Amino acid sequence: MAGKEVLIKAIAIAVPTYPMMCFKFPKVVCNEISSDIVKFWWGKSEGGNGIHWKSWKALCLAKGDGGLGFRDLAEFNLALLSKQSWRIISTPNALWVRILKARYYPDCEFKDAGLGH
């Protein structure tokens, strides 16, 4: 099981990290990825029913709290986007922030910008 934990953390959760920093994933996508991770973790084969001894929420708890430290992808996505928002607000003169401002919200501040353009 330790090998599966490493594979899940190193690949299944790490691969979508960069796109999650830039885009809000639909809840359906996060749930689908989480479902695939759970199936892999419990060894569910195609056509067979695997027994889930713990819920996904329980597996996402910290190791000290009895979980395995997996990340809930929807919450992780929100945290990464919040971190990017903080970077935009705290470093308004950075080149990448000025480019985003010129492209997506030229007539207002970041906190006042609406969805779309």
What stretches in the chain show pLDDT beneath 70? 1, 44-50, 116-117
pLDDT value for 38? 85
pLDDT value for 82? 95
The rounded distance, in Å, linking the Cα atoms of 74 and 105 is 26
Residue-wise pLDDT tens digits, 22-50: 899 999 999 999 888 888 888 866 666 66
pTM: 0.78
Helices marked H in the chain: 2-7, 17-22, 27-41, 56-59, 73-90, 95-104
Secondary structure of residue 66 in the 3-state scheme: coil
CB 63 within 8 A of CB 69: yes
Q: Measure Cα distances from 15 to 7, 8, 10, 104 in Å.
A: 11, 10, 8, 27
Instruction: Please state, for a pLDDT cut of 90, what percent of the chain lies above it.
Output: 42
